[in-house]
């Protein structure tokens, strides 16, 4: 009897609302830790002390994971309120927003995992604080958000093969590009040094300043296609492990039940 109660309480953690709350909490804590660390590792070149607005503006726009976490927190808030369910248009917009956030979360995990060896090779002081919050952020917070998407968000598989899905997937990287270009133009040049942040952490953004537009356009198109492949992977995972979240399969199941009744 005790074991049953214990198992029941543990299973409750993985219900919709607890997952959203825990996910939001972990993202907020990770964002705060990132803010603290990125100010402290600059040493004498303390951006927060000399130019607080410039420091916050850079922090919000320069890191993809920060950008993705902020969007995730906003998305979780709208999911908790559930006001979008009152009309069809809002419901569709929320579904589209969910797809963008899910792909952004997966990209955050891949970026961190891919660049971790390179980051560790650089002469940047890191301690237990960085290790703990970075791993909690990228290997618990982001995966938990993906778990919510896979388990609780209903979507249609056929949407993957519509032309507008590519425009949708291009939206977030495009906005990220624009804010980075704007930041680079408006940032205090005093702090764009080797001790601080680079002008662009995504080095391909420099191609635009150099006038290599065709080169960048090809890179951007390949990136959008890669986002589509990541979304395809997520939909396949949903289809395999959480088939009830695929709307087409729900309709087919209801149809089979009707046929059995006849």
Model confidence pLDDT, tens digit, residues 209-224: 889 999 999 999 999 9
Number of domains forming the structure of the chain: 1
Q: Is 197 helix (H, G, I), strand (E, B) or coil?
A: coil
In whole angstroms, give the CA distance from residue 147 to residue 169: 20
Is the pLDDT assigned to residue 68 strictly greater than 70?
Answer: yes
Is the pLDDT assigned to residue 107 strictly greater than 50?
Answer: yes
Paired tokens of 87: 């009309």
Model confidence pLDDT, tens digit, residues 11-34: 676 788 999 999 999 999 999 999
- What is the pLDDT confidence band of residue 151, given thresholds at 50, 70 and 90? very high
| Residue 201, H or E segment | none
* pLDDT at position 92: 81
Instruction: Identify the residue with better confidence: 190 or 9.
Output: 190
* pLDDT at position 8: 47
Is the pLDDT assigned to residue 255 strictly greater than 60?
Answer: no
Structural domain span for residue 199: 2-261
The phi, psi pair for 109, rounded to 5°, reads -65, -45
* pLDDT at position 42: 54
Give the Cα-Cα-Cα angle 97, 60, 140 (nearest 5 degrees): 65
Largest CA distance in the chain: 78
Task: Give the residue among 152, 162, 143, 180 at the shortest CA–CA distance from 61.
Answer: 180
Question: pTM of the entire structure?
Answer: 0.83
Is the pLDDT assigned to residue 1 strictly greater than 50?
Answer: no
Is the pLDDT assigned to residue 2 strictly greater than 70?
Answer: no
Percent of the chain with pLDDT over 70: 76
**Mutual angle of helices 52-62 and 16-40, in 10-degree steps:** 130
């Amino acid at each position: 009897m005790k074991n049953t109660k214990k198992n029941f309480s543990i299973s409750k953690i993985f219900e919709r609302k607890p997952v959203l709350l825990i996910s939001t909490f972990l993202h907020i804590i990770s964002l705060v830790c990132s803010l603290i660390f990125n100010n402290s590792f600059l040493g004498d070149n303390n951006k927060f002390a000399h130019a607080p607005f410039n420091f916050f503006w850079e922090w919000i726009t320069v890191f993809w994971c920060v950008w993705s976490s902020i969007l995730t927190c906003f998305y979780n808030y709208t999911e908790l309120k559930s006001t979008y369910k009152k009309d069809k248009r809002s419901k569709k917009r929320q579904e589209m927003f969910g797809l963008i956030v899910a792909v952004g979360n997966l990209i955050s995990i891949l970026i961190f995992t891919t660049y971790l060896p390179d980051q560790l090779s650089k002469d940047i002081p890191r301690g237990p604080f960085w290790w703990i919050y970075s791993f909690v952020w990228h290997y618990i917070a982001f995966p938990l958000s993906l778990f919510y998407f896979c388990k609780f968000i209903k979507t249609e598989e056929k949407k993957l093969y519509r032309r507008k899905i590519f425009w949708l997937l291009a939206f977030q990287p495009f906005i990220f590009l624009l804010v980075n270009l704007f930041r680079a133009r408006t940032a205090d040049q005093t702090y764009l040094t080797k001790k601080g942040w680079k002008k662009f952490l995504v080095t391909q953004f420099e191609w635009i300043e150099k006038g290599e537009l065709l080169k960048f356009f090809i890179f951007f198109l390949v990136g959008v296609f890669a986002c589509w492949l990541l979304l395809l992977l997520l939909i396949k995972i949903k289809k395999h492990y959480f088939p009830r979240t695929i709307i087409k399969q729900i309709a087919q199941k209801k149809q089979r039940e009707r046929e059995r009744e006849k």
